[in-house]
Amino acid sequence: MAVRACGLIIYRRLQPAPSSKVTDSIEYLLLQTSYGTHHWTPPKGDSRSDNTRGGHLCQAAEWILAEEMQEIIDEVHLPNAVEMRGTGIYFSTLLAGHVDPGEDDLQTAFRETQEEAGLQASQLTLIEGYKKELHYPVRGKPKTVVYWLAEMKDCNTEIKLSEEHQAFQWLKLEDACKFAEYEDMQATLKEVHQFLCSRE
């Protein structure tokens, strides 16, 4: 079953130096996961693309296997816990693995941002004209990630991380691409930056 994730690429504008370009003052928000390889991404959360609820079993779990899996699911405690047995098996439950009733992808992205980074929709300005879909396999299954673009209204707003993340960074484009590691995310950040430059 395909997995669909929704999130926001969030940026802020610092006060530029008199001789610098406006776009040189842009920084992007990346969160570092507290599980697995501790990778860095914008805020996002998974949902099943067909919206099958199945007693909330569409709550998505990310599994990182260090060696061959032995005994897999022992018991499921809803809505958040998937218990595993066996050596070398690590797991984490991603926030909001289902779309709430009446909720669309964009609403899911805002909710995930609130849950993962403590940012309310009222603290962000959604930038019209940008939407990006990334497609890639995860453990042999197709995954789609949909990103919108949003600007912080106050660049000093506090970030409040959930248990799913252990750190955050505000980074200029070059550093954000280094932290992001994955080529598709790097390309997306560069595309976003070019999009913002074209608006100046």
Tell me the pTM: 0.72
Domain boundaries, the chain: 3-57+100-199
Rounded to 5°, angle at Cα 112 from 111 and 117: 110
Look at residue 141 in the predicted model and tell me its pLDDT: 87
Mean pLDDT computed over 74-79: 33
Residue 55 has pLDDT above 50, yes or no: no
Q: Report in angstroms the alpha-carbon separations of 9 from 27, 51, 58, 71, 149.
A: 11, 23, 24, 38, 5
Q: What is the pLDDT of residues 83-131, one digit of tens each?
A: 333 333 333 222 223 345 677 899 999 999 999 999 999 999 999 999 9
Look at residue 58 in the predicted model and tell me its pLDDT: 31
CATH class as words, domain 3-57+100-199: alpha beta
Q: What is the pLDDT of residues 144-174, one digit of tens each?
A: 899 999 999 999 999 999 998 999 999 999 9
The tokens describing 161, both together, are 């991380």
DSSP 184: H
